[in-house]
Amino acid sequence: MTAIPDFSAVEAMDAADALSAFRDRFILPDGLIYLDGNSLGVASKAAFTELQQAATQEWGQDLIRSWNIAGWFDMPLTLGDRVGRLIGAAAGQTAVCDTTSINIYKALHAAMALRPGRSVIVSEGGSFPTDLYMAEGVLSTRPGGTLRLEGVDADTIEALIDDSVAVVLVNHVNYKSGELRDMAALTKKAHDHGVLVIWDLCHTAGALPVDLDGANVDFAVGCTYKYLNGGPGAPAFIYAATRHHGDVSQPLSGWWGHARPFAFEKSYAAGKGMLRFLCGTQPILSMRALKGALDIWEEVDMAVLRHKSLGLTDLFIALVEEKCAAHGLELESPRDRAKRGSQVSFSHPHAYEIMQALIARGVIGDFRAPSTMRFGFTPLYVSYADVWKAVEILEDILTTGAWKDARFAVRAAVT
């Protein structure tokens, strides 16, 4: 963005926005500017409709029959294919189930089992912590296994890859900075050494186009409660390329993953394809909320979504640096738009207090220790005018010193 627009220009951007009609399909509290969809997406009206149907009719009236007549039992795979369309996965390679952490555990075990002569997992020192916690958990079951970390053992992931590595676990978009990695290039680098790759798409799915099949990815995991708006605690997803289905295994051998679950056999026999990544009974009400959330995505052109995402983040960076330049904010996200997801992070020594002051004024972003203010831009319901107004409020808080109010320094139990 070469010139800073005025508010009339911002209004014109909203008037020309091809996605603007989607905003009315979400439930947005009056007077709130919500820039935290990269933590929890807002509710859609369709999700509430699905919940009402599932609770009052299917559970309330049809009861156990709904496993068949409402398709409850098949939902992990039917919803999986719908998520798969958004991440560049052909049918039959994605399942919606469990949590991101559990799916990371499954995928890491599956990848290491496919590379039995290798004992090293490579990941990022700056990864979202659960990825590293699960990697440590997997290695605790495999004597002699080691974890190599970017930023700790070498400057880049690429420098850590050699013929002793079984699998790379990497975030497509960094949760704190919003930096976007080159999926195809890193996957190829890994494959050149016989290494498998698991991509964490938690800050990618629903934020920008992804082409897992085109990049020849092995495995991927992600959540559905951020940009996909599936609701708090919504089930996660896992992807495994078809070429691995014949040999893949994972240790959480629950009855939903059995080839014949209702035969009630005493020994486990893995189902075919993505069935073998299922474990226990899935949270059907959460699944139904996600079904409603995904209905909207059937109408979304991901290229148009990415265009608006970049427009929103470019505008936010330009306005913050123009209006708040004297107040010590430092851009943590890539300035190059091609290397940025759908979020922008700024650092400040008093980031926590400033964010609390913003929230008190109706602008919701989030804080990540030690000094990051993080703002997520969900193109389906965030407008260019929202960006303008948010920066106006931020400027006022910084200029007046409103963030210095003692109440904003009080740390909540969860921050």
Q: Residues in the chain, how many?
A: 415
Average pLDDT (50-75) is 97
343 pLDDT higher than 60: yes
2 pLDDT higher than 70: no
* Structural tokens at position 187: 């996957």
Q: Verify cis geometry, omega within 30 degrees of 0, for the bond prior to 370.
A: yes
Pick the catalytic residue from 17, 98, 200, 386: 200
Q: What is the mean pLDDT of the chain?
A: 96
**pTM above threshold 0.85:** yes
Q: Which residue bears the tokens 């995402």?
A: 309
User: Residue 405 gets which letter from DSSP?
Assistant: S
Q: Sorting pLDDT into bands at 50, 70 and 90, what band is 379?
A: very high
Q: Sorting pLDDT into bands at 50, 70 and 90, what band is 3?
A: confident
The 3-class SS string of 248-271 reads CCCCCCCHHHECCHHHCCCCCCEC
* Structural tokens at position 43: 């509710």
Task: Determine what percent of the chain is predicted with pLDDT higher than 90.
Answer: 98
In this structure, the strands spanning 146-150 and 120-124 are parallel
Q: Sorting pLDDT into bands at 50, 70 and 90, what band is 413?
A: low
Angle CA(171)–CA(128)–CA(362) in degrees, nearest 5? 105
- The answer to whether 169 touches 104, Cβ cutoff 8 Å, is yes
CB atoms within 10 A of CB 280: 12
Of 22, 75, 19, which is closest to residue 46 (Cα–Cα)? 22
Q: Reply yes or no on whether 262 is catalytic.
A: no
How many angstroms separate the first and last alpha carbons of the chain? Answer: 33
Residues 6 or more apart whose Cβ sits within 8 Å of residue 111: 166, 167, 196, 198, 218, 219
* Structural tokens at position 47: 């999700």
Of 49, 70, 48, which is closest to residue 61 (Cα–Cα)? 70
Pick the catalytic residue from 181, 291, 323, 374: 374
CB atoms within 10 A of CB 141: 11
Pick the catalytic residue from 226, 276, 291, 308: 226
Helix 129-139 to helix 100-114 angle, to the nearest 10 degrees?
A: 40
Q: Reply yes or no on whether 105 is catalytic.
A: no
Residues 6 or more apart whose Cβ sits within 8 Å of residue 242: 90, 92, 93, 273
Quote the pLDDT of residue 411.
85
Longest dimension (CA), the chain: 69
* Structural tokens at position 26: 């979400």
Residue 135, phi then psi, degrees to nearest 5: -60, -45
Q: Reply yes or no on whether 346 is catalytic.
A: no
Burial (CB < 10 A; 0-12, 13-18, 19+), residue 407, is: exposed
266 pLDDT higher than 70: yes
Q: Reply yes or no on whether 226 is catalytic.
A: yes
**Rg of the chain, C-alpha, whole Å:** 22
Pick the catalytic residue from 48, 73, 128, 133: 128
218 pLDDT higher than 70: yes
Quote the pLDDT of residue 315.
97
- Alpha-helical (H) ranges within 261-342 are 284-297, 302-323
Of 97, 200, 189, 173, which is closest to residue 376 (Cα–Cα)? 173
85 pLDDT higher than 80: yes
Q: Reply yes or no on whether 277 is catalytic.
A: no
Instruction: Decide: helix, strand or coil at residue 240.
Output: strand
1 pLDDT higher than 70: no
242 pLDDT higher than 60: yes
- The answer to whether 96 touches 80, Cβ cutoff 8 Å, is yes
Burial (CB < 10 A; 0-12, 13-18, 19+), residue 414, is: exposed
Question: Please, which residues bridge with residue 374 across strands?
Answer: 345, 366
Question: Please, which residues bridge with residue 288 across strands?
Answer: none
Element (H, E) at 173: none
248 pLDDT higher than 60: yes
Element (H, E) at 5: none
415 pLDDT higher than 70: no
| Euclidean distance between CA atoms 372 and 396, whole angstroms | 19
| Euclidean distance between CA atoms 101 and 132, whole angstroms | 10
Element (H, E) at 166: strand 165-171
Residues 384-395: tens digit of each pLDDT: 999 999 999 999
Instruction: Decide: helix, strand or coil at residue 373.
Output: strand
Pick the catalytic residue from 225, 227, 316, 346: 225
